[in-house]
Amino acid sequence: MLDGLLAGLPDLPDIWGEGGTFGFFGMDGPTKVRSGFVATYAGQPFGLLIYTPRRRMLDVIVPEPAVTRLATDDVYAASAPRGDLLVTFSAWHTLVGIAPPGTALSLGFEDGPETEWRNPFWVTADPERRSVVTLGMGRGGRFTVAFGETVEEAAERARSGLACDVAAAAAARLAAYRALPHLESPQP
């Protein structure tokens, strides 16, 4: 999957760096910056620290060693022996992804495990700040993380995320990179 997605793209960053920004930026669509639904790369590869008013962690634990192939501000990908990991935004409020078999996903508040199962989603709700983030998992390793002001809004966005074509969403996010020039190796 990743080979086709990355074919023909210029040299792109492929280093996982803790604290690197991961968010949907307004140059290619409207955002809602006050939501705080932006993240940074976590210290553990492939996890995200989500900067909602009360911070959340998305842990993504791939069962086998994985190699980062792409790490931009709105798409990241890795290759593992049993399949590829691909994560991107389908909208400012929704992350979508595909993970290799056996990948463990969990969502929780940074300061506590107050995640609640509300079939079919894991929910972290902070009603005082009107901030809800859900984690939903689908077939074939598909998953989504969605923000909303209510559980119902976040769940509806998560349902849409699970129906999204993750590779097409990533390709759309990477389209601007196709216009960048390829870097030449410096001559000695």
pLDDT at position 79, please? 97
Q: Structurally, how many domains does the chain consist of?
A: 1
pLDDT at position 28, please? 61
Residue 184 domain-assigned (yes or no):
no
Question: Kindly report the CA angle at 72 between 132 and 48, in degrees rounded to 5?
Answer: 35
Please say whether the beta carbons of 42 and 62 come within 8 A. Answer: no
User: Which ranges of the chain have pLDDT less than 70?
Assistant: 26-36, 182-188
Condensed to tens digits (0 to 9), the pLDDT of residues 87-123 reads: 999 999 999 999 999 999 999 999 987 899 999 999 9
User: What gap in Å lies between CA 78 and CA 142, rounded to an integer?
Assistant: 15
Residue 39 domain-assigned (yes or no):
yes
Residue 186 domain-assigned (yes or no):
no
Residue 185 domain-assigned (yes or no):
no
Please say whether the beta carbons of 123 and 151 come within 8 A. Answer: yes
Coil, helix or strand for 5? helix
pLDDT at position 179, please? 78
pLDDT at position 80, please? 96
Cα torsion 58, 142, 23, 134 to 10°: value is -50
At 3, list the tokens: 């080979």
pTM (two decimals): 0.91
pLDDT at position 35, please? 62
64-70: list long-range contacts, CB under 8 Å, 24+ apart: 64/100, 64/102, 66/100, 68/14, 68/15, 68/16, 69/2, 69/6, 69/14, 70/2, 70/6, 70/12, 70/13, 70/14
User: What gap in Å lies between CA 117 and CA 141, rounded to an integer?
Assistant: 19
Residue 101 domain-assigned (yes or no):
yes
pLDDT at position 187, please? 59
Please say whether the beta carbons of 5 and 24 come within 8 A. Answer: no
pLDDT at position 12, please? 86
Residue 187 domain-assigned (yes or no):
no
Residue 143 domain-assigned (yes or no):
yes
Which domain range does residue 98 map to? 2-178
User: What gap in Å lies between CA 76 and CA 71, rounded to an integer?
Assistant: 4
Q: What are phi and psi of 171, to 5 degrees?
A: -60, -40
